[in-house]
Each structure stands twice: as C-alpha cells, then as structure tokens.
Amino acid sequence: MKKFGIWIVLPFLLLIGQSAQAAGKTAQSYEVEKKGGHDHAAMMQGMGKTAAWTLYPTLKARMSGENRETMKTAIVPQNIVAANIDAWSNNLKDENAYRQLPMDMGGAMLDKPTNGGFHWLSAREDQGDTVRIASIVQSFNERGAKDPTAMFMRQKHELEIIPQPYPREHARYRANEDWKFLVRFNGQPLSGQKVFLESSNGSMAEFVSDAQGVVKVHVPDDFKAEEEKPAAGSHNHGMRRTADLVLATEYADGGKTYLTAFNSSYGQNAFDQRNLAMGLGFTLLGMLGAAPLLRKRKTEQKSKEADNA
C-alpha cells in the first residue's frame, strides 16, 4: 500500500507525454482539427434540399455560428414542399411553445431559445387528398430544461410517429440498438401498422406496431468498414461516424392519404472501435494486482489461533 500513490500517478504522467506526441498539434492547426472533430457547423455541411437516399420527406438541421450563445439552426426540408416549419418547444407554457418559422433560401431559422431543451420540428405538405409530413427533434442541451414528454405526446398532426423516448443528452440512436416509437392517428394508437425504415447507408426494413401502437425499431448496423474514419485525435463526443435514417408510415382515412416520416441521425455500433475482451483482460489484470491484499498475514493468523486456544 505504501507505493499505491506513486503507481497511480506515474501512468498519467506517461500518458500526457504520449498524448502530446500523438496530438502533434499547435494552436495553428486548431482550426483543421476542429473541422475533423467538434465543429457542429462543419458536421452539417454539404446537405442539399433533395435527400438522394430516400424519397420520404425529411428535415435536415444545419447549425451555423461560431459563438455558442448565438448559434442558429437552419431547418431545411428535403423531398417536401412547405411554406414554413412548425416548431414546438418543450416548455408548453412558454409564449414560444409553438411557433411557425418562415422559410427562406437557407431554410427556416431556429434560434437557440433561452430555455433550451428539445424542439419538435415539422414540415407539412397538404395537396388535395394527400398529406405529407416530415418531422425531426432538435435538442439544445441546457441545464434544467423541462421534460419534453408532454410536448412529444401533444397531438400535432393526424398521423404521427413519436419516439418513446427520444435519446437524451449524451445519447443518440446507434446501430444495432432497439428503440420504440408510438404510431397514432388522430391521437389514437394504430395497431398492426406498417412502419418502413430507410437509411442513408442503404438499409431498408419494415416493422409492425403492436396492440398499443408501439413499434420496436432495430437501427441497422450498416456502416461500411472501408469508409473513411475520423482523424486520430479528433473530438466528437465518441459519436464517430454518422448516417441518417427515416421512419415512415402511411394511412388512409376519409378519402385522404396521410404519410408521415420521422428522421434522425444515428451513430455506429456501441462496440465499434472497442474491444470487450481486452477490457476484461485489463480488469482482470487490475484484480490480480489487488489479490495480495486478500491474503491473511501470518501474524494475524497466529493471533487468531492464539485467541482460539
């Protein structure tokens, strides 16, 4: 136990040296690094107004602005024509609980609200007997943000796909995970309803809702191994590569056909670039290191024997 502290500190000192070498970067290379890593604006570049990977209507959120306090998000409709974006804030009692964001060339601008939290954003195209709806959730992580469950559950359109729940802060949809969604029409759950999934990596799948209108969606593990990986040393909150998915369902009622789609990004499999066997191995190594502590000392045994005698 005497040298316990030394053995704890020493690896960290070695690690700093290793890290500085691996980083090999200075303040000058900072901007380059940032684009490969944590620049949200850079992450959203290059998205057009037509989503080539799906025909379903989708919304794309593009963040802009260097300053975190004034960061804005442009909501761009894809495969859908809409005059504005409907935005619901998670604080339903707020005067901005519901807003209509006008569309311009760059999309509809959503400024960061003071109360932060989750926003539900929808575009609606109503043409004769066809209604098409695209929805996404946009989150501004803020301390003390209200629980968005009531906002998610508030009826916004006739046909809806609602996350149950949506990934909270520090989480996201990831490949090979199961997530639940509620499918409902006019506020009533739809059982036996088919929900289609398409991903920007080319996956397609079909799911059916249960008696409660809940559909369990398996996020496809479809990232190709040969795709370029982020630069070593980049910081991206462990999100690594991302792709887009859309869930869509169609329902006919009263001579009208409704199609609603909910889209989101998703990340790689949780165990991608992780090694469980090695993790268990190092844990075992640590356990072995502590094993001598479990041995009874001879003096202690002798004193116990003496007590017993």
Least separation, in Å, of the C-beta of 93 and another protein? 15
Q: Please give the residues from 174 up to 203 whose contact with another protein meets the rule CB under 8 A.
A: none
Least separation, in Å, of the C-beta of 94 and another protein? 16
- Which one, of 96, 58, 62, 95, lies nearest residue 77 by Cα? 58
- The type of residue at 218 is H
Q: Which is nearer to another protein, 143 or 188 (CB)?
A: 143
Task: For residue 15, state whether it binds another protein (rule: CB under 8 A).
Answer: yes
Q: Which stretch binds another protein (CB under 8 A): 8-16, 191-199, 248-256, 258-266?
A: 8-16
Task: For residue 148, state whether it binds another protein (rule: CB under 8 A).
Answer: yes
Q: Please give the residues from 54 up to 113 whose contact with another protein meets the rule CB under 8 A.
A: 69
How many C-beta atoms lie closer than 10 Å to residue 181's C-beta?
Answer: 22
* Contact between residue 248 and residue 259 where contact means Cβ atoms under 8 Å apart: yes
- Pick from 130, 202, 271, 303 the residue near another protein by CB under 8 A: 271
Paired sense of beta strands 130-140 and 256-267, if any: parallel
What distance in Å separates the CA atoms of residue 89 and residue 118, rounded to the nearest whole number? Answer: 6
Task: Tell the burial category of 35 from Cβ atoms under 10 Å away from its Cβ (0-12, 13-18, 19+).
Answer: middle
Least separation, in Å, of the C-beta of 14 and another protein? 8
Q: Which is nearer to another protein, 107 or 117 (CB)?
A: 117
Least separation, in Å, of the C-beta of 274 and another protein? 4
Q: Which is nearer to another protein, 134 or 182 (CB)?
A: 182
Task: Tell me the C-alpha to C-alpha distance, in Å, between residue 133 and each of 88, 136, 149, 199.
Answer: 15, 10, 20, 18
Task: For residue 171, state whether it binds another protein (rule: CB under 8 A).
Answer: yes
What distance in Å separates the CA atoms of residue 299 and residue 34, rounded to the nearest whole number? Answer: 60
- Pick from 225, 228, 296, 305 the residue near another protein by CB under 8 A: 296
- Pick from 169, 187, 204, 302 the residue near another protein by CB under 8 A: 169
Least separation, in Å, of the C-beta of 234 and another protein? 6
Print the binding letters for residues 126-145 with another protein: x by CB under 8 A, - otherwise.
---------------xxxxx
Task: Tell me the C-alpha to C-alpha distance, in Å, between residue 257 and each of 158, 185, 210, 215, 250.
Answer: 11, 12, 22, 21, 7
Print the binding letters for residues 17-46 with another protein: x by CB under 8 A, - otherwise.
-xxx-xx-xxx-xx--x---xx--------
CA 84 to chain centre: 25
